[in-house]
């Protein structure tokens, strides 16, 4: 039996300074990815999964995001809502902003700089509802240590429980990479609130919260079929453009 979600969350508050000059006029999530902005692809992905309400977390150049979304709202089915993240207190801080709005229901979160081409999103949702976990994170095989150092690496057990997840490891011990795609039950808000802000960045990062949940047996990973790129720089953006272009032409 197919299961469904109604709520999507897109953290899109960062400017993406590593992408250089264009971030003076555009937030990273609005960079073009083949035929439309990164954000629009994510909205389309959520629409295809039956999401009816999407909460977009904004800060940098929020007026650009809001104006664009107003222009395309008539062409998409989900209702789009905007929440300002002040201060910029990390990815977990962004997710916490929707607590009072989603009425205690599970939700899908996809980062605003994520490019995922996969046919297994619905399988991931079905897997999530078969578990009693607080979180399921998409993972993908990746042996490139240079990429793992920029993101995170994950160790899974036989039942796909997360045994360990390491944020930006200097010497990655595992070759599964966490993706910016998550399914959360509303219990996640309790765990975010009880996690102290990291003083170096003045932020709560979701990876550390997932690692704590993993130690309690409440976090799973779901191996995606397909491709995933976390867009951090121009090389990532170029690679993602080619990936999307090939996928569009294959339709």
Q: Is 238 part of any domain?
A: yes
**Residue 231: pLDDT above 60?**
yes
Give the model's confidence band at 148: pLDDT under 50 very low, under 70 low, under 90 confident, else very high. Answer: very high
**Domain count across the chain:** 1
Between CA 241 and CA 32 the distance in angstroms is 8
pLDDT at 15: 67
Evaluate whether residue 174 is within a structural domain.
no
- pLDDT number for residue 196: 80
Q: Classify residue 16: in a domain, yes or no.
A: yes
Residue 178: pLDDT over 80: yes
Residue partners of 14: CB distance under 8 A and separation at least 6: 27, 28, 59, 60, 88, 112, 113
Q: What is the pTM of this model?
A: 0.95
Confidence (pLDDT) at 152:
93
- DSSP string covering the chain, please? ------EEEEE-----GGGGGGGGTS-GGGSEETTEEHHHHHHHHHHHTT--EEEEEE-TTHHHHHHHHHHHGGG-SSEEEEEE-SS--HHHHHHHTTTTTSTT--EEEE-TTEEEE-S-HHHHHHHHHHS--SEEEEEEE---HHHHHHSEEEEE-TTSBEEEEEES-SS----EEEEEEEEE-TTHHHHHHTSPPBTTTTB--HHHHHHHHHHTT-EEEEEPSSEEEE--SHHHHHHHHHHHHHHHHH-
Q: How confident is the model at residue 98 (pLDDT cuts 50, 70, 90)?
A: very high
pLDDT value for 223:
97
Q: Identify whether 155 is part of a domain.
A: no
Identify the CA nearest to 54 among candidates 135, 108, 120, 128. Answer: 108
pLDDT score for 14: 80
Neighbours of 145 (CB within 10 A): 14
On whether residue 17 sits in a domain, the answer given is: yes
User: Does residue 168 have a pLDDT over 60?
Assistant: yes
Confidence of residue 202 (pLDDT cuts 50, 70, 90): confident
Spatial CB neighbours of 132, under 8 Å, sequence gap ≥ 6? 218
CATH of the domain at 55: 3.90.550.10
Q: Is residue 161 part of a domain?
A: no
Confidence of residue 19 (pLDDT cuts 50, 70, 90): confident
pLDDT, position 132:
87
Residue 101: give the domain boundaries: 7-139+180-189+219-250
- pLDDT score, position 251: 62
Assigned domain for 167 exists: no
Q: Could you tell me the CA-to-CA distances from 148 to 175, 180, 215, 238 in Å, in that order?
A: 8, 13, 21, 19
């Amino acid at each position: 039996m197919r299961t469904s979600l109604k709520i999507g969350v897109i953290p899109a508050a960062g400017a993406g300074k590593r992408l250089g000059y264009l971030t003076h006029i555009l937030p990273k999530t609005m960079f073009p990815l083949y035929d439309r902005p990164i954000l629009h692809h994510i909205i389309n992905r959520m629409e295809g999964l039956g999401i009816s309400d999407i909460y977009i977390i904004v800060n940098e150049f929020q007026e650009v995001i809001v104006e664009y979304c107003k222009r395309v709202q008539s062409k998409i089915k989900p209702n789009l809502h905007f929440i300002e993240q002040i201060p910029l207190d990390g990815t977990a801080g962004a997710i916490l902003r929707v607590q009072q709005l989603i009425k205690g229901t599970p939700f899908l979160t996809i980062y605003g700089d994520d490019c995922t081409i996969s046919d297994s999103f619905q399988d991931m949702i079905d897997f999530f509802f078969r578990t009693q976990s607080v979180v399921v994170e998409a993972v993908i095989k990746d042996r490139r240590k240079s990429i793992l150092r920029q993101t995170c690496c994950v160790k899974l057990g036989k039942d796909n429980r997360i045994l360990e997840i390491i944020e930006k490891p200097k010497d990655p011990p595992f070759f599964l990479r966490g993706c910016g795609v998550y399914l959360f039950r509303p219990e996640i808000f309790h765990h975010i609130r009880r996690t102290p802000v990291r003083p170096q960045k003045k932020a709560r990062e979701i990876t550390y919260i997932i690692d704590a949940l993993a130690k309690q047996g409440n976090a799973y990973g779901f191996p995606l079929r397909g491709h995933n790129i976390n867009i951090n720089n121009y090389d990532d953006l170029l690679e993602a453009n080619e990936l999307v272009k090939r996928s569009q032409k294959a339709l």
